[in-house]
Amino acid sequence: MKTINPQSALVYVMVVVAASDGSMDDRERAAMAECTRRLPVFRGFDPDRLAATVEDCSAILQEKEGFEAVLGLVREALSEPLCETAYWLALELALSDHKVALEEIRVIETIRRALGLDKLVAAALERGARARFQVS
Domain boundaries, the chain: 6-132
List, in sequence order, every beta strand (DSSP E) within the chain: none
Task: Please report the pLDDT score of residue 23 as a whole number.
Answer: 78
pLDDT at 75 exceeding the cut of 80 = yes
Q: Could you give the CA distance from residue 136 to residue 88 in angstroms, rounded to a whole number? A: 23
Mean pLDDT of 34-57: 94
Q: Which of 7, 6, 9, 15 is nearest to 94 (CA)?
A: 15
pLDDT at 56 exceeding the cut of 80 = yes
- CATH of span 6-132: 1.10.3680.10
Task: Please report the pLDDT score of residue 73 as a whole number.
Answer: 97
Specify the range with the lowest mean pLDDT, choosing from 4-18, 24-38, 55-69, 121-135: 121-135
CA angle 111, 48, 60 (to 5 degrees): 40
Q: Could you give the CA distance from residue 14 to residue 11 in angstroms, rounded to a whole number? A: 5
Q: What percent of the chain has pLDDT over 70?
A: 97
Task: Please report the pLDDT score of residue 120 as a whole number.
Answer: 93
The band of 42, judged by pLDDT with boundaries at 50, 70 and 90, is very high
Mean pLDDT of 11-31: 91
